């Protein structure tokens, strides 16, 4: 994804305690839901940032620190799939699947 490109992303959520999760992200950092991180396909470099326009109308910036699971990578358009790290499995289920406007940006989030 080039910097500045706007696209419609499929945005899901996952928790550090999800089934099959190790608690460690692909970047090697612990899965800490206090950080604004996202899992993406390998089309996105580690450390890249993406702004997502939430359903509430505000932009949130996330840093790529994890990778999508095997089933998610197999889907067509996986480069436009963002899996946001949240605090609990309950929060991930509540988030559901959303189609949201997103944009690859220069990083400004403190990580």
Measure the CA–CA gap between 60 and 51, rounded to whole angstroms. Answer: 5
Measure the CA–CA gap between 106 and 35, rounded to whole angstroms. Answer: 17
**3-state SS assignment for residue 58:** coil
Question: pLDDT tens for residues 85-103?
Answer: 998 889 999 999 999 999 9
Question: pLDDT tens for residues 69-87?
Answer: 765 544 555 578 999 999 8
102, 50 contact by CB (below 8 A): yes
Question: pLDDT tens for residues 13-52?
Answer: 998 877 777 788 888 888 875 679 999 998 899 999 999 9
């Amino acid at each position: 994804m080039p910097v500045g490109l706007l696209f419609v992303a499929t945005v899901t959520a996952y928790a550090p305690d999800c089934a099959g999760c190790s608690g460690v992200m692909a970047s090697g950092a612990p899965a800490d839901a206090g950080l604004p991180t996202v899992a993406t396909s390998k089309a996105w470099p580690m450390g890249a940032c993406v702004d997502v326009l939430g359903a509430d109308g505000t932009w949130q910036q996330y840093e790529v620190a994890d990778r999508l699971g095997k089933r998610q990578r197999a889907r067509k358009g996986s480069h436009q799939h963002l899996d946001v790290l949240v605090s609990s499995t309950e929060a991930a289920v509540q988030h559901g699947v959303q189609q949201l406007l997103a944009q690859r940006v220069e990083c400004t989030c403190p990580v």
